[in-house]
Structure 1
Amino acid sequence: MLNPRTHLLKLGERLLPLAARTPFLLQRLALERSLNQVLAEPLGEGAFEALEGRWMRLEVADLQLAWCLTCTRGRLRIAARAPFEVCIRGNWREFLLLASRQEDPDTLFFRRRLVIEGDTDLGLAIKNLIDSLDPDNLPVWLWRLIQGAGEEVAQAAGSAAAGRTQPAG
């Protein structure tokens, strides 16, 4: 029997690809509202000032999802297309590992599992911003969900890597 976290991750693997079929307007409304609510404290403290008047593109390659983000007057805004200065691209598992703190951001970027293209100074500022966000600012249930899913992905990746390095018997 699967443990609940494994079951939840498997369910997510089936549901996440459906996000690409969701109309962009709904994606934008849900993401803007959620991000601005969850990140209200760091936004209020000016943590996102590197994005003031500048655009970044976030691409989740394996899900074929992409959003352009900026910060305007202390609020995050999302657009389908914008003249972005930097793009951060990766698969959803890598973004989950980053968000759940299961993998060091520098390791993910150094190993090219997450890629920064364009204005690298802005990209590094955003990477450092993400790394500096305090999980205590998140609702406890959300942090537990992200952390648990990240642990499952890390464990699965570790098991897969161990299987590849085992000598043939």
Structure 2
Amino acid sequence: MLKLTRMALRVGEPLLPLGRHVPFLLQRLVLEKAVARLFAEPLADGDFDLLQGRWMRLEVSDLGLAWCITRDRSGLRIAQEAPVDVTIRGNWREFLLLASRQEDPDTLFFRRRLVIEGDTDLGLGIKNLLDSLDPDNLPPRLWQLICHLAMAARPDDPAEPAFPGGR
């Protein structure tokens, strides 16, 4: 299964940067619906309230994608541009490893594979929030897919990049 997933990543990786050409309106509609569904329970519990009236910019540097995210009374909202309080930046593999919990968030930030700029207290609060989210609240097949993709994206030898061109 791992070999098949690695092959799929090798074939699909050149297509990932094409995501930046998807109109932002479509990106926003899809992302807002997805986060509303995936994070319904943590949103209802007030876990994302630290973003109330504040903006975070999430940048996937190697794909040329970025979104500004805030919390309002109806949920998480996404904008193309906003007066951001904090930016979290990294490459897609690092975000995948973070999401799959296959890499410790502190390690990703300490080694500067993910970078927080701006209000670091807010950034650390968001990092801790993401680390505390229960993957059991995700649809099981989605969680399995995230984990398989992250395992395939990891290098066999941590000193070597998983794919030519590396990180």
TM-score, scaled to structure 1: 0.90
For structure 2, list consecutive stretches of 5 or more residues without a partner in the other structure.
162-167
Q: Equivalences for 1:11-90 in 2 at 5 Å? A: 11-73=11-73, 75-90=75-90
1:167 corresponding residue in structure 2? none
Alpha carbons 1:46, 1:74 under 8 Å: kept: no
Pick closer, same or farther for the CA change 1:43–1:12 going to 2, 3 Å.
farther
Greater helix share, structure number: 1
Instruction: Give the alignment of 1:120-159 within 5 angstroms.
Output: 120-154=120-154, 157-159=155-157
Aligned-pair distance for 1:9?
A: 1.8
1:161 maps onto 2:159 in alignment:
yes
**Alpha-carbon distance in structure 1 between the residues aligned to 2:48 and 2:114:** 20
The answer to whether the 8 Å contact 2:58/2:66 transfers is yes
- Separation in 2, partners of 1:10, 1:42: 34
The Cα offsets for residues 66-116 of structure 1, whole Å up to 9 and x where unpaired, read as: 000001115110000000100000000000000011100000000000000
Contact 2:3/2:152 (<8 A) preserved: no
Aligned to 1:128, the other structure's residue is in SS state: helix
Cα distance, 1:6 vs. partner? 1.4
| Larger Rg over CA atoms | 1
**Partners of 1:100 and 1:26 in 2: CA distance:** 25
CA distance in 1, matches of 2:156, 2:114: 18
CA distance in 2 between partners of 1:15 and 1:40 (Å): 30
Normalised to the residue count of structure 2, the TM-score between the two structures is 0.91
Q: What is the CA-CA distance between 1:158 and the residue it aligns to? A: 3.7
The amino acid of 1:4's aligned partner reads L
> 1: CA distance between counterparts of 2:156 and 2:44?
38
1:162: how far off? Answer: 5.5
Quote the Cα distance in structure 1 between the aligned partners of 2:19 and 2:160: 32
Percent identity (aligned): 64
**Is the 1:48–1:74 Cα contact (8 Å) retained in structure 2?**
no
Counting matched residue pairs gives 161
